[in-house]
Amino acid sequence: MLTYEEFLHKDSFSFEEILAFAYGTLVTDPPSDFDARLPAPPFLMFDRILTIETDGKKGRIVAEQDVRLDAWYFQCHMPGDPVQPGCLGVDAIWQLLGYFCIWRGALGTGRALGCGDVSFNGQIRPYNKCVRFEVDVRRFSRLKESGASVVIGDGRIFVDDELIATVAQARTGIFKNIVYPDYPRRSKNSIGGIMER
């Protein structure tokens, strides 16, 4: 669909492109260690990236998710009081930060590393229309000794243009040699725990 060079210079991504990235088919000529993926639906938390940009070690990402009446989380969280779990919004911020790392040329596999304060002052219900994620990338760094990359950003979550949550100092990393592509077979990376043994 895109060459690696085209991927690195693109400033927005459609749902089709994001889905192709999740399945590892977006980039036609991936470099060695281009192992990162996004979660596939239903855990993919955005439908399009409206803008992704960089300014040195900083940057910005704006993405949207259409609210669906039949979304899996409305069916189980909570019966009789359907609401999107707030943690899924936090995960969307981590997903976007990981994508930013790969778009900046990081190689490996993404993992959420944590965040600072999370604040909710609203909710997402089945008849809302659109969730918007705005992430200000505060710092992107490549760690030369390990080959890892780390990004830190602050996220804001809006539903139908109303600010409902903030996520401060969200952190995502990209690491080499941790991918587990031969699931469900037992292999080197089939056991979790600490990253290095």
What amino acid positions are annotated as catalytic residues?
77
CA dist 190 and 183 (Å) reads 7
Task: Please state, in angstroms and as integers, the Cα–Cα distance from residue 180 to each residue in 27, 107, 114, 123, following that order.
Answer: 19, 15, 22, 35
Is 45 in contact with 95 (CB distance < 8 Å)?
A: yes
The angle subtended at Cα 65 by Cα 154 and Cα 175, nearest 5°, is 50
